[in-house]
Amino acid sequence: MKEYVGLTLKKALRAYLWILPFAIIGGITVGMYTYEHSAPDIIEAALEQLGSRQALFATTMIQALIYSLFAWVVGYFIVDRLGLMKSFRFEIPVLKKVCPVIIVLGLIFASDYFVMGKLIPEVAADYEKGISPAYFISSLTYGGVIEEILLRWFFMGLIAWILVMIFARKTDKKEIPDWIFIVANVIAALVFSAGHLPATQMFFGRITGLILFRCFLLNGMFALFFGRWFRKYGIQYAMLGHFGIHLISKVILMSIV
């Protein structure tokens, strides 16, 4: 057991080196994006507490490093135990399946500007600020990589593991019922959506029923695809999907707004 823990820990830390740049860049740009888009009174309160913009950026970077390292290492053990560990490489046959879906989802994501932007003044005002470099980079690095580690790799895996311990404790990992992963995926998608509510409150200054619906629709719907790809093909495809829809939607919006 001790040998397994030591070897798995080494593998997890070695693999995390590929994630480290995304955590650093994503953490800093999330702080920059938060500063740019949050309501003035919220930013003023944050600066009073932290002292400066640089301190805010450093704080979000440190948080991204801590969260992602913990979630990656713990998730590595969980995913291995569940039999969800896949080779960390992309394969052409799988890319041919997921890439067309990513393109469609990216177009749907971009349509938020035309639909919700017409219905919610705060959304329209946020889009009018444009796509800043910090917004663009943070959506690709933090959104595309770090959020997948937190919500799919760690949290979805944790929920699945808990369900296995309750309902399928003696089941071989190759025979774990599909419903366990489906339930875990749905719960992770809902939590992922709910996790955006504090940022939504910061950006818009309020949460209405329609804003709440938009938050769960945009984040939850796409998360279900990412969870399925994680389970079926590997976490790298969930990251690719998340990265891809942000890339496609942001490029479209930058040419319009």
pLDDT digits (tens, 9 = 90+) for 152-182: 999 999 999 999 999 988 888 888 999 999 9
Interaxial angle between packed helices 209-232 and 112-119, expressed in degrees from 0 to 180 and rounded to the nearest 10: 160
| Euclidean distance between CA atoms 15 and 153, whole angstroms | 13
* Helix (H), strand (E) at residue 83: none
Indicate the pTM of the whole model: 0.91
pLDDT digits (tens, 9 = 90+) for 76-131: 999 999 999 999 999 999 999 999 999 999 999 999 999 988 888 888 887 888 88
* pLDDT band with cut points at 50, 70 and 90 for residue 39: low
Cβ neighbour number for residue 228 with a 10 Å cutoff: 18
Q: 87 and 23 in contact (C-beta within 8 Å)?
A: no
Q: 57 and 32 in contact (C-beta within 8 Å)?
A: yes
More confident residue, 144 or 36: 144
